[in-house]
Structure 1
């Protein structure tokens, strides 16, 4: 394979010098960062706005419940004011809305006695906060009325968090499973996206060279298997180069944008973040965060990194060879649709099995079997490894995957050898099988 390095170099340089590749490499981070900056700026403007909510509590039950916050101010109206006058006052003062509580006894109060009036649909977060405050106050008043001691009631509550420990004495928790699932899903999804994006790039590259007839000159001095491997490796290196540039350029642009616009994205306060900050003040939530951090440290990080690199590369090469074979078999991208489904389905199946099966039973029959099937093992095995997979299973799965890649390259090169010289005809699966036999 003396020509392989030359083919890899040619393919890599052809890709990175392509105008569209260069433009999208530098334009994509700019567009992405611009969108983030616009959203951050608009969110900052929205957070600076104070919503004024008027309260017309005819019953006098909940008027003292609401406390002003950084973004919400409550205006308590005279409970003798008519509803029409209250609505008119809110509209004149351009208030955010009016909460009306009808004048009824506390024992007969229900949801129908509360109404929120506003010009537009109110925020879901705001409505949830109002409902929560009212519910807490009415519950407290009912308990006082029934002579129920609130402190004693809290003292009687029992919280159970069942400890988990393996037969070998290794302690785990529910948080461990969540952290492992997140890590596995991130690895599987990254591989899925990389295959889709750069597998298509390889396929289009083959189609372009085939239609331009350049391939006829190249194939006269290079074996089809060398040419296909060179395209796969060269395009993959170009893809890695693009990702590295995106990461570096994205970080630089993010810093520059923050300085110029004075936006600190890390300090953006969305309603969801405010809820999270309030939740973190709870000792139980803090304990869960500590458990999550401990669970991350307990992950077999060295094993995960090595396995991720090996399965990522092997899985990508396997699918890339299939994409190259499809590109050689057709004349344009429109004709690739009939061959794409058999490639995409195993990837989608692997993601669904990883999410819905591995989390429930990572060592079950379904998870184990699909972690050995080559078309699904790169995703499923990466999701299983955080839960503790024996090394022999990982090695066996990797050997099967590498062997499948070599076999796929051999079969794909057969299709490649015939397909790159075929023009003007849309092949069928039956014809592809004949090409493999040549």
Structure 2
């Protein structure tokens, strides 16, 4: 008699009715949104901070360079020596003092600029000062050589190389960013899903084994049915939890932004701010057009179908191994010796995806690892946005399914013996012996 549906139902209901599961399902989004809101609020405070920077320019060359902004005010100190200027800045409690020492030539200015402050200055502030000074000195040197500002402006040229395939499909630089984002998100979701819910399956097996409930269950259910029921039931519980997280997280973000007036987009690192400035320099309209073109060029239907199959195949493959580990040991401490062989392919897949696929998605390394079943779910999902032939996707999926079937057989052998073994820490040698039973 096939008890698989009953086992799946039991596992699912046991998980979703568990108090800790319910609490963490609703508490995790609250904690995450609270952390995001706190970081956004602190970032917003930092971005709104008013700074006064005093400038002591003994050369007189850079007096027109520093223009006040919404958050930064520049105060010019003329006719003062350095010691007096520092004392004055300390007394006024200004953010800092930018000192440009008097020099004989323009070439010596760059080596005679210092910023004095009570505390370490912001990277963004220093980078902004450096950009302004560099621009002004470049213009002055060109003017010294007889080049006018009009000629300097006329000489500036923006290059944006148009990209087009031999079949006439147009693309842009932003295409690679969008493709990497889609592939990276898909691979990362699979990686996290395997880690979180694979461990949940393993703990579930260990709990039932140590409580001796498994001895009663196994008397009327085949081990492979029990193992598959645990995997599928826990997976459905995980999907339920994930959907609740997404919905609840989205609602909470909107509510927090509306009630507390916190802009989640304020969480900008100095690197992100530099990227935003570069994007603004290229033109917001052009960037928007390129983004729309990049998204329209994505094989959306292929991505959705491939994501479903590779996600399910990869998760079931690793879940069967997690279940086998749970059956082989008596407690979570003993699982550590068996976890490394499972985690290494996953970690390797992420590294190959991040450092190889983006640079050469159709290269030998990327292609080979997209066929290896233990790495293909992550690597192939990251390759597909760049355009992978359907025969390669099909072959990779067949290899993944074949390996999953073998892994289920392998895990069921260990599961059948391991769930009734107590009091002894198994070795790899003993696991291989169990396969012969």
Q: Same fold (TM over 0.5)?
A: yes
In structure 2, the partner of 1:374 is 373
In structure 1, the partner of 2:133 is 134
The residue matched to 2:86 in structure 1 has which SS? helix
Q: CA deviation at 1:268?
A: 6.5
Q: RMSD of the TM alignment (CA)?
A: 2.0
Q: 1:18-29, aligned counterparts within 5 Å? A: 18-29=18-29
In structure 1, the partner of 2:237 is 238
Q: CA deviation at 1:158?
A: 5.1
Contact 1:354 1:380 in 2 (8 A): yes
Q: 1:192-203, aligned counterparts within 5 Å? A: 192-203=191-202
TM-score by length of structure 2 reads: 0.94
In structure 2, the partner of 1:57 is 57
Q: 1:143-292, aligned counterparts within 5 Å? A: 143-157=142-156, 159-266=158-265, 275-283=274-282, 286-292=285-291
The residue matched to 1:56 in structure 2 has which SS? strand
In structure 2, the partner of 1:48 is 48
Are 2:326 and 1:338 aligned? Answer: no
State the alpha-carbon separation in 2 of the partners of residues 118 and 50 from structure 1: 15
Are 2:42 and 1:31 aligned? Answer: no
The residue matched to 2:167 in structure 1 has which SS? coil
TM-score by length of structure 1 reads: 0.94
State the alpha-carbon separation in 1 of the partners of residues 170 and 254 from structure 2: 41
The residue matched to 1:110 in structure 2 has which SS? helix
Of the structure 1 ranges 274-283 and 101-110, higher mean CA displacement relative to structure 2 is found in 274-283
Once the two structures are superposed, residues 216-259 of structure 1 have per-residue CA deviations (whole angstroms, 9 ceiling, x without a partner) of 00000100001000100111111111111111222222233223
Of the structure 1 ranges 424-433 and 261-270, higher mean CA displacement relative to structure 2 is found in 261-270
Q: CA deviation at 1:427?
A: 1.0
Contact 1:414 1:435 in 2 (8 A): yes
Q: 1:365 to 1:101 in 2, by over 3 A?
A: closer
State the alpha-carbon separation in 1 of the partners of residues 383 and 268 from structure 2: 36
State the alpha-carbon separation in 1 of the partners of residues 168 and 147 from structure 2: 44
State the alpha-carbon separation in 1 of the partners of residues 360 and 140 from structure 2: 47
Are 2:77 and 1:72 aligned? Answer: no
Q: CA deviation at 1:24?
A: 1.5
State the alpha-carbon separation in 2 of the partners of residues 378 and 271 from structure 1: 34
Once the two structures are superposed, residues 294-328 of structure 1 have per-residue CA deviations (whole angstroms, 9 ceiling, x without a partner) of 11211110011000011100110010000000000
The residue matched to 2:75 in structure 1 has which SS? strand
Contact 1:279 1:285 in 2 (8 A): no
Q: CA deviation at 1:351?
A: 1.6
In structure 2, the partner of 1:404 is 403
Are 2:4 and 1:4 aligned? Answer: yes
In structure 2, the partner of 1:395 is 394
Unaligned runs of 5+ in 1: none
Q: 1:268 to 1:201 in 2, by over 3 A?
A: closer
The residue matched to 2:97 in structure 1 has which SS? strand
In structure 2, the partner of 1:302 is 301
Once the two structures are superposed, residues 20-52 of structure 1 have per-residue CA deviations (whole angstroms, 9 ceiling, x without a partner) of 212221221111111122122222322332100
Contact 1:210 1:420 in 2 (8 A): yes
Contact 2:40 2:266 in 1 (8 A): no
Q: 1:219 to 1:307 in 2, by over 3 A?
A: same
Q: 1:151 to 1:64 in 2, by over 3 A?
A: closer
The residue matched to 1:437 in structure 2 has which SS? coil
State the alpha-carbon separation in 2 of the partners of residues 279 and 406 from structure 1: 50
Q: CA deviation at 1:213?
A: 0.5
The residue matched to 1:65 in structure 2 has which SS? coil
In structure 1, the partner of 2:97 is 98
Give the number of equivalent residue pairs. 437
Of the structure 1 ranges 369-378 and 42-51, higher mean CA displacement relative to structure 2 is found in 42-51
